[in-house]
Structure 1
Amino acid sequence: FEALKAGRVVVTNIEGMQPLDVIQKRLNIEFPSTTRLIRIFSRDAKGIELWQHFFCWCPLGALIVIDECQDIFSKNIGFRMDKVFYRPLSEFLPNLPKDYESFFYSRYTPADMSQLDAAEVDDRGQAEYDDQGRIIYPFSFNEGFMRHRKYNWDIELLSPDWGQIDTAIRACSEQCFLHKGRDQFFWAKRNPLIYKHPKNSSTPVVPKGKDPNLINKKIPLDAFLLYKSTATGIARGAGALNLLLYNPKVFLSLLLGLICVGWFIYGLSGLVFGSSSEIQDAQANSTQSSVSQSSSVSNKADSSSNSTVSDGG
């Protein structure tokens, strides 16, 4: 998305990816005029062929995002990178967008073959460009990956099993990240752990505890407007269960904690309301005692008066 906003050309096989005009409407945004999104799915034989020869037809300066790359570049499906060599663009044009040829060549800035620098021509008189001044594309799949920066390509490979990707492909990677979803925890929805791991690690594991290479990043809801995440159109949560709630020890600990909290609240309420009752009882007893004392004094006074009258007779 950031590449589209920056006006780049993005080539991807992500299934369900919306066309550029739909994305603009959904996000209420207008991309720069240089932005282009080229969607080539890899769910058919022709699509697979295109992606296995991406270095023959991808435009210069493109961001290339290849999803489920284990289904394209894995030995498990019979892929042999040493068997894949350059083929001319014309062989792929029937399976590319109608205006692709003109767009492809518009990405070139042809060199003036009569004004080449001495460093651009070897001692045989062979230049880095073809006879029309266009940079020569890679001769092989291996060269396409190893020299991708020469063509200003940024390549992002996405796979649930990094181990299926040939080590020769992994060798030229700059950064590798493992994403671990945590949707089974209600407080971590759309907030996966992202672990930057060594490129030679075929089965990376998220470390426990703090690690400088471990971060988490919230996925904005707008990201789901870019594509349909499943072929059925029904999005389901991760299959992982929250096993903590099924652990008897954890369950008993939670139950004990609730009992302790309840007992504390009960004791606190008894202390507060019990003290109020005692104060009220004390006040009532004090009032009753005062009334009794007043009655006694009154009775004594009456007795004294009666005694005095009697003596006077």
Structure 2
Amino acid sequence: MRRWPYTFAVAVALAITATAVASSVYLGLPLKDPEGFLGPAYVRLPLLALMFFAAGIIPSAIKRAGIRKLPQGIAVAVREEWSLKRVGYIATGLITFYACYVSYRNLKSYLPVYRDGVLEDNLLVEFDHWMMFGSNPALVMHELMGTDVTAQILSFAYIAYLPLIPVTLGAFLVLSRDLSIGAWYSTALGLNWVLGTISYYILPTVGPAFWQPQLFTDLSTTNVTALQQSLFRARVDVLADPWVSERIHGVAGFASLHTSVTFTAALFVGRTGQRLVVRIAAWVFFLLTILATVYFGWHYIADVIGGIVIGWMAVSIGAWATGNRGRRRRRNLKDDDQPATVTADPSDAGASSA
């Protein structure tokens, strides 16, 4: 079992799922489905799986037989490229990722009940002011970058995170013939949800936009505005009576999981030697995400730092758990299903020793 790259991910998924179920029973609160942009879980997960499998099969089928003979091409592609082992690995990656995510969302929703009235935002406000020599970082950004065009650009980047993460997971699970690469990424993403949950309970905060909302009233209206208002209404409803509310609580500041997940993605594509354009795009998106989280008041500077630490830990632990320690050379998608050659790189000794 240790040689199976998903052993650790399955254990982590079972542990956090058991924790969420035990919390639900202990608190007398139901487990809830955090509905996403594709609808409820029983629709979303099978649909995502079908989309990912189609993305892996159809291009190969067209290349083999052309569009006119697509059914024959699909049959050949499935027979020659899609072993039960490969399908099982991809399904395991999706299920463990989703189990960790759903459990994380529910445990995040239970946070106000477990830590009733305990918030440490004042501590992080003071740290922000210390880091910025007495100024508020969000207000400094508003002054330097403006509150109209910049708000629209950063809002687009922030909201794009929601569909991009499952899409990148599907890409690495389906398109990489080295099955341990997909396992590594899936494990790393799952660890983000687990480590993020732990950080929420260690230092419960709500973030600047919910702690000092008056600082962000000059920003132009964006999709982030609507999202923050929706989260605020859900928070008020849950706090009023969590046993009656049908909403799921989604406000927590430390650490920033937008930061941790995008840092995980950027670090991962570098460690796996993806194409230069992919690496550049990942790091640019990560930097835009950091700017957006502070600009809109989602997070404090300490949240961003915590998110980077979680992202590094997730990639490093994921590398160890899936047998991918050290930097890996980039593999062509036409390679076989055997693991990529692992070469030691002294520069990676620290990053892969977790």
What's the TM-score, normalizing by structure 2?
Answer: 0.19
**TM-score scaled to structure 1, two decimals?**
0.21
Task: Give the helix-richer structure, 1 or 2.
Answer: 2
Report which structure shows greater RCO (CA 8 Å, sep ≥6): 2
